[in-house]
Chain A
Amino acid sequence: MATGTEPHLKSGQDSGGVRAATRAAISAAHLRTDRWWLAPAATAAGLFAFIVYSTWRAFANADYYAAPYVSPFYSPCLAENCEPMRSGPNWEIFGSWWGLSPALLILIFPLGFRLTCYYYRKAYYRGFWASPPACAVAEPHKKYSGETRFPLILQNIHRYFFYAAVPVAGILTYDTVLSFRDEHYEWGHMGLGTLVFLVNIVLIWAYTLSCHSCRHIVGGKLKHFSKHPVRYRMWQWVGKLNARHMLLAWASLVSVALADFYVYLIASGVFDDPRLF
């Protein structure tokens, strides 16, 4: 939209950003003296490590089930080539034609949820795309259209991934309940893996419910909170979680990877699950 605020550009001149002709003549892209690069570098390193690990595990198609534990990367298991899991989340929706790892069928939903998450967007825009690398540090791109065009306009479907993430978290809750069995499927037992699954599912739910779209859906969209006291309460509750969304995003990312790694270690015979009772 034309706003009447004319950009201070001469014809044919590069926009220049902080080096534009009318701005204070300072050649440096930034004058920050603190370690501004540390946060985006650590973020990029953390996300890259998770991408490498999860890619390996998602394509491995092995060592994802050790009774009574199923890896969260493979739950629910929707293809015929899944390992049999007694009372487990096996639904052969995709039949026998699916020959790839069954993890790929389900991971698209949590992946989409995290990829379009408002926190992760900040993290990878800064960490991977340097847009911007840090506050008041000039970005290297000549043009910027933000989330106004394809493909980044698709970030607007975040709420649909939230809708998908809720049943996925529900199924992981079911897996956690199943982990109160022993390796012979007898109920009333608990191992170290049960604790790992419990911590993971608490963090997964906390991250899912702290989502900005969830906050909007439960009450943020209202104009009059006073007319909807229950939704107002829910909005306040989600708001408290939402204030820790970044922390929960990282904690749940680490916990889901650890839960998968724990199952991998048990399934590949590195050690036996220590039983508590």
Chain B
Amino acid sequence: MSTTTPSSPGASGTSYDARFRVWRGDVKGGDLEDFTVEVNEGEVVLDIIHRLQATQTPDLAVRWNCKAGKCGSCSAEINGRPRLMCMTRMSVFDREDVITVTPLRAFPVVRDLVTDVGFNYTKAREVPAFVPPADLGPGEYRMQQADVDRSQEFRKCIECFLCQDTCHVVRDHEENKAAFAGPRFLMRVAELDMHPLDAAAESGLDRKQTAQDEHGLGYCNITKCCSEVCPEGIKITDNALIPLKERAVDRKYDPLVWLGNKIRRRGER
């Protein structure tokens, strides 16, 4: 570890010098390095990382973009908790705290604070897209607000992948990545299954069944870490994953629902 003094000492009052530990390295290895860096009133962790780049570590790799909590780029782990660096105010820490910043620990590291989040794009491609209804053309879609409220909550997702990072199913078990889509993409399945115009069922695609069989819904043990870390406040577990589990139960584990559907289908013939 190296210790570096700041280029400008923090003034008393609104400015102070904070102690940071930032992980530096790549896939071959790395370590936490110590820094002392100036903090001013109103700043967020990403500002401090940028100051580090500007004054002490010009080659520090960090992914960022909007600085407004809307692009989902600056995901990292701050004092061990998955968070957006741009939305983590320095004022939530005591001035004496040592603040540790590491890359997301569920994904392969590229360099410093940048990880390879390709796993998520692979999983995104595995979810079959919205199936347009056969009897409606472009511009003819009409939906009641009540019918799309649920899906619209899920559309707030900014693809920061903090939920994917914190989910212990893949974070602590690399081998589960093949079978488990993760909370973000199970939420996508739920969104489409609740979509009032999605015609997947008519085309032979049963999203309730595939959630369990192909996207690994059964791996989720609803411990709610995905909801805890979501910077958009989406109730991923309560509003997407548990409803999806209940829908899967309708398909696979509830003989009464199965019987009811059989009778109804026979009546439709």
Q: Are A6 and B178 also in contact (CB < 8 A) when A25-B25, A122-B224 are?
A: yes
Known: A22-B27, A146-B169. A32 touches B79 (CB 8 A): yes
With a cutoff of 8 Å between Cβ atoms, the chain A residues found around residue B106 in the complex are: 18, 23
Q: Which of B30, B166, B238, B246 contacts A24 (CB 8 A)?
A: B30
Q: Please determine whether A144 and B219 come into contact, CB atoms closer than 8 angstroms.
A: yes
Known A22-B27, A122-B224: A8·B108 in contact at CB below 8 Å: yes
Binds B, one of A52-60, A181-189, A224-232, A253-261: A224-232
Asked if B172 and A213 make an inter-chain contact with CB atoms under 8 angstroms apart, the answer reads no
CA distance A17 to B177 in the complex (A): 11
Q: Are A232 and B146 in contact (CB under 8 A)?
A: yes
Q: Which residues of A contact B171 (CB under 8 A)?
A: 17-18, 136, 138
Give the complex CA separation of A139 and B168 in angstroms: 8
Question: Could you mark each residue 164-179 of chain B with 1 if its beta carbon is under 8 Å from any beta carbon of chain A, else 0?
Answer: 0110110111111111
A-B contact pairs, 30 of them (CB 8 A): A1-B178, A1-B179, A1-B214, A4-B122, A8-B108, A24-B23, A24-B105, A24-B109, A32-B81, A33-B80, A34-B79, A34-B81, A122-B221, A132-B225, A135-B82, A135-B228, A136-B80, A136-B229, A138-B172, A139-B172, A144-B169, A146-B218, A146-B221, A148-B216, A148-B219, A157-B253, A212-B246, A220-B243, A224-B147, A243-B238
Q: Are A121 and B222 in contact (CB under 8 A)?
A: yes
Contacts of B175 in A (CB 8 A): 7, 9, 15
How many Å lie between the Cα of A33 and that of B102 in the bound state?
14
| Closest 3 pairs (CB-CB, A-B) | A31-B80, A32-B80, A148-B218
| Per-residue B-contact encoding for A18-36, CB less than 8 Å = 1, 0 else | 1011111110001111100
Instruction: Pick from B102, B220, B224: contact of A26, CB below 8 A.
Output: B102
Known: A23-B105, A132-B223, A146-B218. A1 touches B29 (CB 8 A): no
| A147 contact set on B, CB distance < 8 A | 218-221
Complex: how many Å from CA A152 to CA B179?
18
Q: Are B77 and A3 in contact (CB under 8 A)?
A: no
Q: Please pick, from B144, B177, B246, the residue contacting A221 in the complex, using a CB distance under 8 A.
A: B246
> Are B178 and A3 in contact, with the CB atoms below 8 A?
yes
Known: A20-B174, A25-B25. A121 touches B166 (CB 8 A): no
Additional A-B contacts beyond A3-B122, A6-B178, A144-B168 (5; CB < 8 A): A24-B23, A125-B222, A138-B168, A144-B172, A146-B220
B31 CB within 8 Å of chain A: yes
Q: Do residues B219 and A146 form an inter-chain contact, with CB atoms below 8 A?
A: yes
Please indicate the chain B residues that have their CB under 8 angstroms from the CB of A226 in the complex: 144, 146-147
CB-CB under 8 A for A7 and B221, given A15-B173, A31-B77, A136-B166: no
B243–A31 CB distance below 8 A: no
Let me know if B59 is at the binding interface, CB within 8 A. no
Query: In chain A between 201 and 244, which residues have their CB closer than 8 angstroms to a CB of chain B?
Result: 212-213, 215-216, 220-221, 223-226, 232, 242-243
What is the bound-complex CA distance between A30 and B106, given in angstroms?
12
Instruction: Check if B123 sits within 8 Å of A3, measured CB to CB.
Output: yes
A221 to chain B, nearest CB (A): 6
Within 8 A of B (CB), among A97-153: 118, 121-122, 125-126, 131-132, 135-139, 141, 143-148, 152-153
Residue contact B102 to A31, C-beta cutoff 8 Å = yes
A159 x B79 contact (CB < 8 A):
no
Q: How large is the interface on B (under 10, 10 to 19, 20 to 34, 35 or more residues)?
A: 35 or more
A23/B168 in contact, CB under 8 A: no
User: Which residues does chain A contribute within 8 Å of B119, judged by CB atoms?
Assistant: 5
Chain B residues closer than 8 Å to A143, beta-carbon distance: 173
For residue B248, give the distance in angstroms from its CB to the closest CB of chain A: 8
Q: Are B196 and A224 in contact (CB under 8 A)?
A: yes
> With the chains together, A9 CA to B214 CA distance in Å?
21
B223 contacts A122, C-beta separation under 8 Å: yes
Of B25, B30, B174, the contact of A16 (CB 8 Å cutoff): B174
Does B234 sit at the interface, judged by CB under 8 A? Answer: no
Q: Which chain B positions have C-beta within 8 A of A221?
A: 246-247, 250
User: Please, how many angstroms separate the alpha-carbon atoms of A216 and B193 in the complex?
Assistant: 14
- Name the residue on A nearest B118 (C-beta): A5
Tell whether, in the assembled complex, residue B109 and residue A22 are in contact, meaning their CB atoms are under 8 Å apart: yes
> B102, A17: Cβ atoms under 8 Å?
no
Assess whether B87 is interfacial by the CB under 8 Å rule: no
| B145 (CB) vs chain A CBs: closest residue | A226
* Separation of A17 and B175 alpha carbons in the complex (Å): 9
Q: Give every chain B residue within 8 A of A223 (Cβ-Cβ).
A: 147, 194-196
* B41 in contact (CB, < 8 A): no
Chain A CB within 8 A of B64 CB = no
Contacts of A156 in B (CB 8 A): 245, 248-249, 252-253
When distances are taken between beta carbons in the complex, the residues of chain B under 8 Å from A32 are 79-81
Task: Return the chain B residue nearest A149 by Cβ.
Answer: B218
B174 touches A9 (CB 8 A): yes
- Check if A242 sits within 8 Å of B238, measured CB to CB: yes
Report yes or no: B107 in contact with A23, Cβ–Cβ below 8 A: yes
Q: What CA separation (Å) do A32 and B72 show in the bound complex? A: 22
